[in-house]
């Protein structure tokens, strides 16, 4: 493993800042799923892999909202609003992460 692998998320992507999902599906479970699927990222991104997994999980809860609406729900508890990523950015991030981490998460 490289020394530059991101293993924690400070600030707005820290535990508790992604709503109740982090209480039900803790960061360490998501990180294990990402690691087993080869999805741990090597650099900080605007849409980190961990956040993309939570976005996909939230998508199952808030069907019919569209990804930008789901993003707004997912980040609603933050003290200051985050910029809503473009739909194309969300789609690109989902392609980057792929389905393997979710499969690994639910295989546990």
**pLDDT, tens digit, 9 for 90 and up, residues 50-66:** 989 999 998 888 888 88
Phi, psi of 40 (to 5 degrees): -70, 130
- Residue numbers of the domain that contains 91: 11-107
> Model-level pTM?
0.78
Structure confidence at residue 98 (pLDDT): 92
1 within domain boundaries: no
* pLDDT greater than 80 at residue 37: yes
- CB distance 59 to 97 below 8 Å: no
Mean pLDDT of 84-94: 91
Q: How many CB atoms lie within 10 A of CB 42?
A: 9
31 within domain boundaries: yes
Structurally, the chain folds into a number of domains equal to 1
64 within domain boundaries: yes
Residue with tokens 């992507």: 13
5 within domain boundaries: no
38 within domain boundaries: yes
């Amino acid at each position: 493993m490289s020394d530059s692998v991101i293993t924690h998320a400070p600030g707005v992507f820290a535990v508790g800042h992604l709503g109740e999902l982090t209480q039900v599906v803790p960061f360490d479970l998501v990180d294990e799923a990402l690691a087993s699927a080869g999805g741990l990222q090597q650099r900080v991104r605007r849409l980190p892999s961990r956040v993309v997994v939570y976005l996909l999980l939230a998508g199952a809860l808030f069907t019919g909202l569209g990804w930008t609406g789901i993003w707004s729900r997912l980040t609603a508890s933050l003290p200051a609003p985050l910029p809503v990523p473009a739909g194309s950015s969300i789609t690109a991030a989902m392609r980057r992460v792929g389905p393997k981490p979710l499969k690994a998460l639910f295989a546990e």
